[in-house]
Amino acid sequence: MTCQTCGNPHQEHFCPNCGEKRHDPHSLSLKHVVEESLESFTHADHNLLRTVRAVLLQPGKLPAEYVAGRRIRYMKPLGFFLVVNLVFFLLSSTNVFNQPLSSFLTYSPYIEFGTNKTVNHLLTERHETLLTYTPRFNAAMTSSSKGFLVLLIPLYALVFSLIFVTARRTFIEHLLFATYFMAFMLLYMLVVTFLVAMPIQHFMGIQAWVRYGDGLVSFIILFALAIYLFIAFRRFYRTGVVWSLLAAMLSSVTLAVLVFAYRMVLFYKIVYAGH
């Protein structure tokens, strides 16, 4: 039978040239369309669950599998990250990537970067009070903090390429590793938010949380990420125990720096751009 898509005259159940399924005149029946849709949904659902399980429980496995060419059982890296990022965007109102305006105006190291002067100048220019500006800033920060996370992937890929410069990996391979790692980080932060941050915030109260809770949760996140990266480095880059440990610690510290820089970029973006 001839393939309806590419014209290959040797199509069987699937075309060996383009993969198109053999046309069946009865495939447009309601029963067949429903069955095919359910099959596609179930297949995607299984791949998603399998990918989530591997990312959470087997650090470094997915980028290693992808580089080795074993890809069909898991979601593609960028597609998986976008799904996780969407879930993170919908479920997480408070996360490590954002801070309320009060933190930028009160605590170090933010105030060392002129945050008070910047906001005061803005309020004077607009003839607005801090009381009315704060809710708008906080709402914009909550939204923006989750909308630009994809930008951290190439930054982290650059970090990994510098740390493992002798591993003879291409930048694309570092990018794959960074993409799966960022997806894990967002999933892990969701778990920390609901099982750790929210209970602590409820127990401490909002004022104590702003002052002490963020640092505590950030430490918990960095400690767990260091352990995760240690295992992932061993599996993907095949490095020794000592170097994997040092690289994991360095990567965790780098993450703290990137998160701080990300917060500051968002702060100035919101102040100057207004959103």
Quick one: pLDDT at residue 130?
A: 93
Mean per-residue pLDDT for 53-72? 92
Quick one: pLDDT at residue 64?
A: 94
More confident residue, 32 or 249: 249
For 129-175, how does the pLDDT look when each residue is reduced to its tens digit (9 = 90+)?
A: 999 999 999 988 887 877 778 888 999 999 999 999 988 899 999 99
Helices (H) and strands (E) in the chain, counts: 12, 0
> pLDDT band at 259, cuts 50/70/90?
confident
> pLDDT band at 258, cuts 50/70/90?
confident
Mean per-residue pLDDT for 224-239? 94
Q: Is the pLDDT of residue 74 over 60?
A: yes
User: Token digits for 105?
Assistant: 């105006």
Q: Is residue 118 within 8 Å of 240, Cβ to Cβ? A: no
More confident residue, 209 or 161: 161
Least confident of 16-25, 35-44, 248-257: 35-44
DSSP string, 173-186: HHHHHHHHHHHHHH
Q: At what angle do helices 130-147 and 115-126 cross, to 10 degrees?
A: 120
Q: Is the pLDDT of residue 29 over 70?
A: no
For 115-131, how does the pLDDT look when each residue is reduced to its tens digit (9 = 90+)?
A: 999 999 999 998 999 99
**Quick check: bond before 77 cis, omega within 30?**
no
Mean per-residue pLDDT for 60-84? 90
Instruction: Name the percent of the chain in helix, strand, coil, to the closest 5.
Output: 75, 0, 25
As a residue count, the chain comes to 275
Quick one: pLDDT at residue 51?
A: 92
CA-CA distance, 186 to 166, in Å (whole number)?
A: 29
> pLDDT band at 37, cuts 50/70/90?
very low
User: Token digits for 232?
Assistant: 């992932």
> What are the DSSP E strand ranges found in 34-187?
none
CA-CA distance, 161 to 171, in Å (whole number)?
A: 7
Q: Is the pLDDT of residue 38 over 60?
A: no
Quick one: pLDDT at residue 28?
A: 47
For a pLDDT cut of 90, what percent of the chain falls above it?
A: 37
User: Where is 30: in which H helix or E strand?
Assistant: helix 30-57
Quick one: pLDDT at residue 73?
A: 87
> pLDDT band at 46, cuts 50/70/90?
confident
> For all residues of the chain together, what is the average pLDDT?
82
Distance set, CA 48 to CA 41, 163, 254 (Å): 10, 30, 29
